[in-house]
């Protein structure tokens, strides 16, 4: 897309907004789209030419808004992109990844008029406003439990039994990499002990531990047991607010591994089917079946662990009806948590470019699927407790963690809102330090083989 600006230099907002409709399209002259934004007095005009059509919109700067200029320029661009693509974004002009932060800022500026202003000027749907409010309610207890000096330990297990087609993580497929695991675990355990010592030196108390992946249950029961025993040496497991092992793929979960996880003090596990349709699982390369999920979930429920189920809205081949069947199946199992992600597309721009009609249809249907998930979670007593948006998700949507009251994951809340420092251990893990509300990050080396070679230092 070629961008021409007159009397304004706000390309940041224009680019952010265009990414909602043309993800990662980039501003070059090659794609046959021209967007011209002109400021005249207290108005912005956007003129967008694409495929021989031209769309125009003009918006005034509203002085009652604290960011009136940004709102006007985005509104004009939103109109022309919506007219050209037929896509409506339920989050309206909001392009950031943390809608709750925006909602809190809006509340502090507009008070009781917040919802009205968000709908009228920022084009946020009432459903998303309700989601923000309910998410804030769902976070209250965890936020209140967070004390100065509390910190998190994140442990990365970057191995999976096979690679899902939509995967955007740095995860090694076990098999050829299998022999790397013992060495990886040796180095990882050294780092866990070192990071816990560093937390101690910094006056931090680890209150949440999150073992994520990849697929942590790719490890054998003995390996999990040994690793978790090291965690127990590093931190006081009995006083943790949360200790999650994100098991992940049902085909890797066994009763023996669950026993090891439970015996070593974990409080929460994630069993992730993503969908309850076998043909979709096959299509996306998950290499497990719905029956595998039911077996693994059944085993997990025999333990004392709280169980989370991860789903993805917008998977290739899924439909709103199919997704509703998945929601029916999952809510009938009565898990403690349900996390609904929206499909992230690494190559979203190519998809939109190569299959524009399919992309628009998929975006519309994903909006419907997310709507269905919200309705089911509400009906079955799940409160949203964390919420974030990711660039390049189908339909400009969000990822939401839902929980039965008292089963929220504090780690997710603290991590998302930068409420605690994080000590990261393992390949591709990030440590996060917060000083005077400024966040600095230290990233470990990305790949497991480098991590082993370089001994994480
Ligand atoms: S289970 Fe998760 S991390 Fe592993 S390949 Fe699939 S999407 Fe990637």
The DSSP string of 85-116 is: H----TTTT--SS-HHHHHHHHHHHHGGGHHH
pLDDT score of 384 more than 80: yes
DSSP 38: E
How far is Cα 291 from Cα 297, in angstroms, rounded to an integer? 10
Whether the Cβ atoms of residue 300 and residue 262 lie closer than 8 Å to each other: no
pLDDT above 60 for 349: no
Ligand 1 atom nearest the C-alpha of 214 is: 3
Q: Of residues 456 and 147, which shows the higher confidence score?
A: 147
CB atoms within 10 A of CB 326: 27
Task: Evaluate if residue 172 carries a pLDDT over 90.
Answer: no
Instruction: Give the pair of three-digit tokens for residue 156.
Output: 């990365």
CB 274 near ligand 1, within 6 Å: no
Residues 350-358: what's their mean pLDDT? 64
Write the pLDDT tens digit of every residue in 206-241.
999 999 988 999 999 999 999 999 999 999 999 999
What letters, b where the CB count within 10 A reaches 16 and e where it falls short, cover 290-321? bebbbbbbebbbebebbbbbbbbbbbeebebe
CATH of span 140-454: 3.80.30.20
Q: What is the average pLDDT value for the chain, to the nearest integer? A: 91
Q: Whose CA is nearest to atom 8 of ligand 1?
A: 167
**How far apart are the C-alpha atoms of 297 and 251, rounded to whole Å?**
11
Atom of ligand 1 nearest to the CA of 168: 8
pLDDT score, position 356: 66
Chain segment 274-304, per-residue pLDDT in tens: 999 999 999 888 889 999 999 999 999 999 9
CATH class of the domain defined by 2-89? alpha beta
Among protein residues, the one whose CA lies closest to atom 7 of ligand 1: 167
> In the predicted model, is pLDDT for residue 317 greater than 70?
yes
The residues spanned by each domain of the chain are 2-89, 140-454
Q: DSSP secondary-structure letter at 391?
A: T
C-beta separation of 83 from 55 below 8 A: yes
85: confidence class by pLDDT, cuts 50, 70, 90: confident
Cβ neighbours, 10 Å, residue 340: 28
142 token code pair:
């965890």
Over residues 401-419, the mean pLDDT reads 95
Q: Is the CB of 169 under 6 A from ligand 1?
A: yes
Q: How far is the CA of 215 from the centre of ligand 1 (A)?
A: 7
């Amino acid at each position: 897309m070629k961008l021409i600006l007159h009397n304004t230099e706000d390309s940041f907002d224009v680019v952010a907004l265009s990414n909602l409709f043309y993800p990662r399209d980039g501003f070059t002259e090659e794609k046959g789209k021209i967007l011209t934004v002109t400021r005249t007095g207290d108005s912005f005009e956007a003129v967008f030419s694409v495929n021989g059509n031209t769309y125009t919109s003009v918006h005034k700067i509203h002085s009652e808004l604290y960011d009136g200029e940004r709102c006007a320029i985005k509104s004009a661009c939103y109109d022309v992109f919506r007219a050209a693509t037929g896509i409506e974004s339920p989050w309206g002009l909001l392009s950031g990844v943390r809608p709750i932060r925006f909602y809190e800022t809006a509340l502090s500026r507009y008070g009781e008029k917040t919802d009205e202003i968000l709908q009228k000027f920022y084009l946020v749907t009432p459903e998303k406003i309700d989601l923000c409010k309910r998410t804030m309610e769902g976070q209250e207890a965890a936020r209140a439990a967070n004390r100065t000096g509390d910190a998190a330990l994140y442990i990365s297990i970057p191995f999976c039994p096979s690679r899902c087609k939509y995967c955007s993580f740095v995860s090694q497929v076990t098999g050829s990499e299998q022999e790397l695991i013992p060495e990886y675990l040796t180095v990882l355990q050294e780092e866990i002990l070192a990071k816990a010592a560093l937390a101690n030196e910094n006056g931090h108390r680890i209150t949440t531990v999150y073992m994520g992946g990849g697929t942590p249950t790719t490890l054998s029961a003995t390996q999990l047991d040994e690793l978790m025993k090291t965690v127990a040496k590093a931190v006081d497991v009995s006083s943790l607010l949360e200790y999650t092992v994100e098991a992940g793929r049902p085909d890797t979960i066994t009763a023996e591994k669950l026993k090891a996880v439970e015996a070593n003090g974990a409080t929460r596990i994630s069993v992730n089917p993503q969908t309850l349709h076998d043909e979709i699982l096959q299509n996306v390369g998950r290499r497990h079946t719905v029956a595998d999920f039911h077996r693994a979930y059944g085993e997990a429920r025999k333990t004392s662990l709280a169980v989370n189920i991860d789903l993805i809205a917008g998977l290739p081949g899924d439909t709103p009806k199919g997704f509703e069947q998945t929601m029916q199946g999952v809510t009938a199992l009565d898990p403690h948590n349900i996390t609904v992600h929206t499909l992230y597309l690494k190559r979203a721009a190519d998809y939109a470019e190569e299959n524009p009609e399919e992309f628009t249809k998929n975006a519309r249907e994903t909006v419907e699927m997310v709507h269905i998930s919200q309705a089911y979670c509400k009906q079955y007593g799940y409160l949203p407790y964390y919420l974030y948006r990711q660039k390049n998700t189908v339909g400009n949507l969000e990822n939401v963690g839902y929980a039965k009251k008292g089963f929220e994951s504090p780690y997710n809340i603290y991590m998302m809102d930068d409420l605690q420092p994080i000590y990261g251990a393992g390949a591709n893990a990030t440590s996060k330090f917060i000083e005077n509300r400024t966040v600095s990050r230290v990233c470990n080396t990305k790949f497991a083989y480098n991590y082993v070679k370089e001994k994480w230092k």
